[in-house]
Amino acid sequence: MSQDKKVIFVTGANTGLGLEIVKALYKSTQSYYIIAGSRLVSNGDAATAAVEREIPSSPSSLSVVQLDLASDESIKRAVEDIDTKFGRLDVLVNNGGAGFDGALRDGQLSIREAWNKSWDTNVAGTQVLTSEAIPLLLKSGQPRLLFITSGTSALAFTERFDHPALQRINASPAPGWPKPRELNPIESYRSAKTGLNMMMRQWHRILLNDGVKVWAISPGFLATNLGNVGVEQLRKMGARDPSEGGNFVKAVIEGERDSDVGKVVGATGIQVW
């Protein structure tokens, strides 16, 4: 296996932003071993086959690894599989995540179930995977560790109303109980991503002297199916094309934000805490 061809593992890669990250990397003039993590291998296979049809010529290769962030056994098997096939990991993109606030709103989950699932998938599962993958990252000459966060995660942004999106998510409803159902509730998701930011800071501290470059990536408001709101509805709310987020993550992987390690970075600059 070529030591010059970086090994990149993208979690949650069969749909949404994860798939756009895979596409952006596959389009790059640089060559990579791109590993797409997917809860169902069949979904991952279908997604990577579609990428290969869309981009018929690439210096990179695609493969799929089964990964369920809610299962420690699945996480361990995924890391073992990468170790067996590649022997190292140059870049881990912790993109896998999910929103459960809509299911809570619609009575499909209890409060505890929704909040536990949100933190388990978006934070705890990512923490377990990162911990398991560190030995492989430390075998890389240029290890990079990325966590996909959210523009809604910044505590400072909760006091701002100078943008339509912030006006919407920070508005206080009329008095009384119960409150009206929101179109796109994000309470547990938003809180979990704030927790993820602290987790990134801890990994930055822990791995600083190992030479691992660590970031959280805030890709912006993208029109994906996260939260099951609907892509077209999100576009009407101002969401951007997901490919913009994929291209930005690729840029970070390829060194364009190396001066901003340990920060939450977005396309327009460093996101406040």
Q: What is the mean pLDDT of each run of 10 residues along the chain (273 residues)?
A: 85 94 97 98 97 96 97 98 98 96 96 97 98 98 97 93 88 94 91 98 98 92 55 57 85 96 93 95
Sign of CA dihedral 77, 80, 84, 85: positive
Task: Name 142's Cβ contacts closer than 8 Å, sequence gap at least 6.
Answer: 6, 90, 213
| 202, amino acid identity | Q
CB 36 within 8 A of CB 47: yes
Look at residue 97 in the predicted model and tell me its pLDDT. 93
Beta strands in the chain (DSSP E): 6-10, 32-38, 61-66, 91-94, 144-148, 213-217, 264-266, 269-270
| Helices 187-207 & 111-119 angle (0-180, nearest 10) | 30
For the domain made up of 6-270, give the CATH fold.
Rossmann fold (3.40.50)
In whole angstroms, how far apart are CA 5 and each of 15, 83, 93, 134, 137?
24, 15, 16, 19, 14
Residues marked as catalytic: 150, 189, 193
Q: What is the pLDDT of residue 225?
A: 55
Instruction: Identify the pLDDT of residue 267.
Output: 82
φ, ψ for residue 10, nearest 5 deg = -110, 120
- Cβ atoms < 10 Å from Cβ of 182: 15
Q: How do 61-66 and 91-94 pair as beta strands?
A: unpaired
Domain boundaries, the chain: 6-270
